[in-house]
Structure 1
Amino acid sequence: MNYLSVEQISKSFGERTLFKDISFGINKDQKIGFVAKNGTGKTSLLHIVAGLDTPDNGQVISRKGITISFLPQEPDLDPTLSIEETIFSSGNKILQIIAAYEKALLHMEDQEAYQKAFDAMEAAQAWDFETQYKQILFKLKLDDLSRKVNLLSGGQKKRLALAVLLLNNPDLVILDEPTNHLDLEMIEWLEEYFKKENLTLFMVTHDRYFLENVCNEIVELEDGQLYSYKGNYAYYLENKDARMAAQASETAKAKQLYKKELEWMRRQPKARTTKSKSRIDDFFEIKERAHKRRNDHQVQLEINMERLGSKILEFHNVGKSYGDLTLLNKFEYVFKTGERIGIIGKNGTGKTTFLNIMTGALPPDTGKVIVGDTVKFGYYTQKGIHIKEGQKVIEVIKEFGDFIPLKKGRTISAGQLLERFLFDRKKQYDYVEKLSGGERKRLYLCTVFIQNPNFLILDEPTNDLDVVTLNVLENFLLDFPGCLVVVSHDRYFMDKIVDHLFVFKGDAIVEDFPGNYSDFRTYEGDINSAFAKADAAKNTTAAIEVSEPKKSWKEKQHTGKLSYQEQKEHTKLEREIAQLERDKIEKEKEFLNPDLTQDQITEASKELEKIITDIDTKEERWFELSAKMEE
C-alpha cells in the first residue's frame, strides 16, 4: 500500500539547486534510510515530504487519511510547558482522555467528574494505551513530569519530542537525525523499538548501525540522481561498490570511443551531410559520458604533526563536583604515545567536563593535571564554529594562514585544503551563514586539524556529518599518529577508531575497558548472562548481588568454588592480561618506524611473539578459573 508519492520535485535557493526532478514512493512497512552528502538538501527534502515546506516544482501526494509525524533535528517545544503538559497538548484525543482521568483521580471527592472520566476511558478503550504511555515515558527516562521544558537538556528535549511522536502512533514517521543528543542506552532502546514495531519510516541519520539494524531500504541521492537499494546498510555498501565499478568501466569505454570519434570530427570538412550530422550529435553525447567525473573527493590529510615527548598527559587524584553531584573522584591515568580512547556514558555523567579538565578549560577541584611540554591540543567541541557576520568560508581558513605546512617540507594553500575537505572553489566563497549544519561541522573540523595538533580531543564529532564525510574522517583518524580521545554516540565510528574505553557510569565511577564499543557490549552481555544463571541457582542470595551496582571488570567479586588464593589469582590475571594487551599495541606500533634495521625488526618480532604467547597462556588459565567459578 502506497502511503506517499514524491513526483518530480525540485528545490533551489537563489542560484543554488539542491535537487531537481526527484521522484520516489514510500509504502506501508518500509523503513527507508535516506543518504546524501551534506549540503545536498536532505533536511529540505524531509521538510517537503512532511508537508512543512513546498517544492519549487512537482508535488507530494499522500494517501487520504494517513497521519504523518516529523521529528526535526532540534525539537520545537513550548518552553513554558511542563513535560506532562507538552505530551497532553499534542492533540492526541486518547491522551486528552487519559489526562482528564488522571486529573479526576486527584479530586476523588468529585464523584460525578470521576465517573465521567472513567466512562470516557472505557468508551475509548484507553486503559492499554495508558499502560503503553507510561512504559514509553519510563523507557525514555521522563520521570519528573512537572519539569518545565526550558529546564531540560538537549537530550531530554529530544526524548520528550520522541515520546510525543511515538504516542501519537502515526502511520508514517519522518526522522531527521533521530539519534542526535541521545546517549547510547537511549539509541539502542530506540533502535530495538523501531525494529520490532510495525512502523513506516523515512529517515536521515548518520548512525550507520541504526541504518544497518533498522532500515530495509537505503535511498541515496548522488549527483542529482536517486539510487535505491532494497536492503540494509551493509547491502547498500556492497551494491554501491558494484555500481561504481560498473560506472567506471562504462566511463572508460566512453573515453576510448570519444578518442576515436574526436579523430573523425577533426577530419570532417565544413560541409556536412545529414548522416555525418547525426554522428556529430552522437559525438557530443559520447563526450558528455566520457567526461563525467565522480565527485567523490577523498580528503587526503597529510598535516605535519609535531612529535610528542615522553611525558604527554597525566591525571593524579583528580576530583570534580558540582554541589552534591560528584563526577570525578581520585581519578588516575597516565596517557601514553598513540593512545586511542573512546569515552561513553549516559548524559550528565561528566564526559564533557572531563574533556574540559584535560585541556585546562576547567580546573579540577582536587588533584592535578600535568600536560607535557610538547603537547598541542586540537579540541573539537559540541558548540561548533563561531560565525562572524559576512565572513566567507575561505576567510575562516585564512585566519590560520594562507599556507599550511605538510609532510616532507611541502605546503598547501588555504583554498587547496578546503577542496580536500570537500569545499569546491565556488563553495569557498559562500558566506558561512549559508552553509548547512553538516557543512559548518566539516569546516570546523578543518580549522581544528590545520593547527597541526598532536593530541586530538573530539566531542561528538559525527553529529550532522553525512556518511561520505564520516568515512573520510575515519580514514584520517586511523592514520593520525598522535593521541586521540573521542566522545561519541556513534557506535560504528567508535568501533572503527578506538582501542579502549573510559566508561563513565555516574557517581564518579570511570571504568577503563580494554576494547572497543562492541567488545564492551559483548562483555556486558556475558556478565548479565552470568548474573542470570547465578540468580536461577541461588535465588534470594543472587538477587541481592544483582541489585548492587555492577563493579568494574577489574573489581568483580568472585565467589563460586574458587579458593581464596584462586580468587586472588583470577583478579591478578585480569590486570596482567589488560597490561599485556597494551604492551602488544605498543610493540606493534614499533613496526611503523621506517628507520628500523633488520636486526631490530627481528628482535621486536621475538618480543611481540612472547607477549602474544603470554596473553594466550594467561587467558587460558583465566577461562579455566572462570569455568570453575560458575560450576
Structure 2
Amino acid sequence: MNYLSVENISKSFGARTLFENISFGINKDQKVAFVAKNGSGKTTILKILTGSDSPDSGQVVMRKGIRMEFLSQEPSLQDELTIEESIFASDSPILHVIEQYEKALENPEDADAYQDAFEKMELHNAWDFETQYKQILSKLKMEDLKLKVKFLSGGQKKRLALAIILINKPDLLILDEPTNHLDLEMIEWLENYFAKENITLFMVTHDRFFLERVCNEIVELDNGVLYTYKGNYSYYLEKKEERLAAENASIDKAQNLFVKELSWMRRQPKARTTKSKSRQDDFYVIKEKAQSRRVEHQVELEINMERIGSKIIELHKVSKKFGDRVMLDNYSYTFNKGERIGIIGKNGTGKSTYLNILAQSLAPDSGKVVVGETIKIGYYTQSGINPKPGQKVIDIIKEYGEQIPLTKGRMISAAQLLERFLFDRKKQYDFVEKLSGGELKRLYLCTVLIQNPNFLILDEPTNDLDIVTLNVLESFLLDYPGCLLVVSHDRYFMDKIVDHLFVFRGEGVIEDFPGNYSDFRAYEDSIEPEKEEPKEKVNWKDNQVKKGGLNFNEQKEYQRLERDIKDLERKKETIEAKFLDVSLSEEAIEKNSKELEKVLKEMETKEERWFELAAKIEE
C-alpha cells in the first residue's frame, strides 16, 4: 500500500539548483534511509515531505487518512508545558484515556472517577499501550515528568520529541538524524524497537550501524540524480560500487568512440548529406556522454603534526564533583605514544568533564594533570564554532594566518585549504551563519586540524557529517600518528579507529576495556546482567580478563599490530601498483623500490611480534 508519492519535485535557491524532477514513493512497512552529501538538499526534501516547505515544481501526494509525524533536528515544543503535559497534548484518543486514568490514580478518594477511568482503559484495551509508553519514557530517560520543557537541554528536548512520536504510533514516521543526542544504550534500544515494530520509516541518518540493522531500502541523491537500492547499508555499498564501475566503463567506451568520431568530423566538407548530418547529430550525443565522467570532490585532510616527546599526559589521583555527583574519583592514567582510545558511557557519567580536564579548560578538585612539553592538544568540542556577527567562512581560517604550513615544509593559502575541505571560492565568501549543520562541522574540523595537534580530542565528531566525509575522516585518523581520544555514538566509526575503550559507569568509575565497541558489546552480552550497583561491575584491567594468555597491555599491542599490519599491506599494494606505470622514470623506480623495501621490513618486524602474541593466545 502506497502511503506517500513524490512526483517530479524540483527546488532551487537563487542560481543554485538542489535537485530537479526527482520522484519516489514510500509504501507501508518500508524502512527507507535517505542518503546524500551535506548541502545536497536532504533537510529540504524532509521539509517538503512534511509540508513545512514547498517544491518549485512537482508535488507530494499523501494517501488520505495517513497519520504522519516528523522528528526534526530542532523540535518544536511548548516551553511552559511539563514533560507529561507535552506527551498528553496530542490528539491520540488512547492517550487521553491513559491521562484520565493517571489522574484518577492521583485522587484515590474519588471512587467514581477511578471506576470510570478503569472501565475506559478496559474498553480501549489501553493496558499494553500504557506499559509500552512507560517503557519508551524509561528508555529515553524521561523520568521527571513534572519538569517543564523550558528547563530541558537540547538533547533532552530531542529525546522528548522522539518519545512523543513513538508513543503516538503514527502510520508514517519521518526522522532527521534520530540518533543524535542519544547515548549508545538508547541508540541500541531504538534500533531494536524499529527493527521489530511494524512501522513505516523514512529517515536521514549517518549512523551506519543503524542503517545496516534497521533499513530495508536506501534512496541516494547523487549529483542531482536519485538511485534506489532494495537492501540494507552493506547491499547499498556493494551495488553503488557496481553502478559506478558500470558508469565509468560506459564513459570509457564513449570516449574511445568520441576520438574516432572527432577525427571523422574534422574531415567532413561543409556541404552535408542527410546521412552525414545524422552522424554529426550522433557525434554531439557521444561527446556529451564522453565528457560526463563524474568528478568526485572529497575532503583532503593533511596535518603537519608537532614532534611528540616521551612524556604525553599523566593524570595523578584526579577527582571532580559537581554537587553530590561524582565525575572522577582518585583517577590516575598515563597516556602512551600512539594510543587510540574510545570513550563510551551514558549521558551524565563524566565524559565531557574528563575531556575538559585533559584539555585544561576545567580544573580538578584534587590531583594533578601533567602535560608533556611537546604536547599540542587539538580539541574538537560539541559546541563547535562561535563566529563573530557578519563573519565569512574565509575570515575564520585567516585568523590562523594567510599561509598555512603543511607537511614537509610546504605552505598553502587559506583559500586553498578551504577548497580541500570542499568550500569552493564562492562558498568561502558566504556568511558562516548560512552554512548547513554538516558544513559548519567541516569548517570546525578544519580549524582544529590547522593548529597541527599531536594529541587529538574529538567529542562527537561524526554528528551532522555525511557518509563520504566520515569515510575520509576515518582514513585520516587511521594514519594519524599522534594520540587520539574519541567520544562518539557512531559505533561503526569507533570500531574502525580505536584500540581500547574507557567505559564510564558513573559515580567516578572508569573501566579500561581492551578492544573496540563490538568487542565490548560481545563481552557484555556474554555475561549475565549484574544485580549489584554499577560500581560492582568487572574491571577488566584489575581482574586480568585475558584474551588467551595475553595480559592487558599485550592485548592492546595485539590489537594495534593487527591494524598496523593492515595499513602496511595497503601501502605495499599502493607502491606495487605504481610499478605498472610504463612511463615511470629510473629515479622514480628507485625511490619506489626503497619505499617498498622499508614497508616490507616494517611488516616483517610487526608480523614477527604478532605471531609471538598469537602463539601466547593459543597456549
Structure 2 counterparts to residues 421-500 of structure 1, below 5 A: 421-500=421-500
Amino acid at match of 1:57: S
Instruction: Give the equivalent residue in structure 2 for 1:2.
Output: 2
The equivalent position to 2:541 in structure 1, one of 537, 545, 554, is 554
Q: In the TM superposition, what is the alpha-carbon distance from 1:517 to its structure 2 partner?
A: 0.4
3-state SS in 2 of match to 1:425: coil
Amino acid at match of 1:551: V
Q: 1:194 to 1:609 in 2, by over 3 A?
A: same
Q: For 2:321 and 2:534, how far apart are their aligned partners in 1?
A: 26
Q: For 2:596 and 2:53, how far apart are their aligned partners in 1?
A: 65
Q: For 2:499 and 2:71, how far apart are their aligned partners in 1?
A: 34
Where structure 1 has 5 or more consecutive residues not aligned to the other structure, the ranges are 532-542, 557-569, 622-631
Contact kept, 8 Å, 1:554 with 1:575, in 2: the verdict is no
Paired-residue identity, %: 65
The Cα offsets for residues 159-181 of structure 1, whole Å up to 9 and x where unpaired, read as 21111101111111100000000
Instruction: Give the equivalent residue in structure 2 for 1:188.
Output: 188
Once structures 1 and 2 are overlaid, which stretch shifts more, 332-341 or 279-288? 279-288
3-state SS in 2 of match to 1:252: helix
Structure 2 counterparts to residues 203-214 of structure 1, below 5 A: 203-214=203-214
Q: 1:265 to 1:137 in 2, by over 3 A?
A: same
Amino acid at match of 2:556: R
Q: For 1:552 and 1:52, how far apart are their aligned partners in 2?
A: 50
The Cα offsets for residues 11-37 of structure 1, whole Å up to 9 and x where unpaired, read as 122222211111000011110010000
Amino acid at match of 1:520: F
Q: For 1:256 and 1:130, how far apart are their aligned partners in 2?
A: 67
Q: In the TM superposition, what is the alpha-carbon distance from 1:374 to its structure 2 partner?
A: 1.1
Instruction: Give the equivalent residue in structure 2 for 1:375.
Output: 375
Instruction: Give the equivalent residue in structure 2 for 1:539.
Output: none
Once structures 1 and 2 are overlaid, which stretch shifts more, 585-594 or 55-64? 585-594
Q: 1:601 to 1:80 in 2, by over 3 A?
A: same
Instruction: Give the equivalent residue in structure 2 for 1:564.
Output: none
Q: In the TM superposition, what is the alpha-carbon distance from 1:98 to its structure 2 partner?
A: 1.2
3-state SS in 1 of match to 2:401: coil
Q: 1:288 to 1:427 in 2, by over 3 A?
A: farther
Instruction: Give the equivalent residue in structure 1 for 2:579.
Output: none
Instruction: Give the equivalent residue in structure 2 for 1:517.
Output: 517
Amino acid at match of 2:608: E
1:313 matches 2:332? no
Contact kept, 8 Å, 1:587 with 1:604, in 2: the verdict is no
3-state SS in 2 of match to 1:300: coil
Instruction: Give the equivalent residue in structure 2 for 1:609.
Output: 608
Contact kept, 8 Å, 2:34 with 2:202, in 1: the verdict is yes
Q: 1:620 to 1:396 in 2, by over 3 A?
A: same
Once structures 1 and 2 are overlaid, which stretch shifts more, 261-270 or 491-500? 261-270
3-state SS in 2 of match to 1:34: strand
Q: In the TM superposition, what is the alpha-carbon distance from 1:475 to its structure 2 partner?
A: 1.0
Instruction: Give the equivalent residue in structure 2 for 1:565.
Output: none
Q: 1:573 to 1:471 in 2, by over 3 A?
A: closer
The Cα offsets for residues 118-177 of structure 1, whole Å up to 9 and x where unpaired, read as 333333232222222222222222222112222223332222111110111111110000
Q: In the TM superposition, what is the alpha-carbon distance from 1:571 to its structure 2 partner?
A: 6.5
Contact kept, 8 Å, 2:4 with 2:61, in 1: the verdict is yes
Instruction: Give the equivalent residue in structure 1 for 2:553.
Output: 579
Q: In the TM superposition, what is the alpha-carbon distance from 1:103 to its structure 2 partner?
A: 1.0
Q: In the TM superposition, what is the alpha-carbon distance from 1:487 to its structure 2 partner?
A: 0.5
3-state SS in 1 of match to 2:527: helix
3-state SS in 2 of match to 1:52: coil
Instruction: Give the equivalent residue in structure 2 for 1:224.
Output: 224
Q: For 2:595 and 2:290, how far apart are their aligned partners in 1?
A: 46
Amino acid at match of 1:525: D
Q: For 1:440 and 1:572, how far apart are their aligned partners in 2?
A: 43
TM-score normalised by length of structure 2: 0.90
Amino acid at match of 2:555: E
Q: For 2:251 and 2:360, how far apart are their aligned partners in 1?
A: 53
Q: For 1:107 and 1:276, how far apart are their aligned partners in 2?
A: 93
Q: For 1:544 and 1:470, how far apart are their aligned partners in 2?
A: 39
Q: For 2:552 and 2:391, how far apart are their aligned partners in 1?
A: 50
Contact kept, 8 Å, 1:477 with 1:497, in 2: the verdict is yes
TM-score normalised by length of structure 1: 0.88
Amino acid at match of 1:609: E
Q: For 2:329 and 2:379, how far apart are their aligned partners in 1?
A: 24
Count, aligned residues: 594
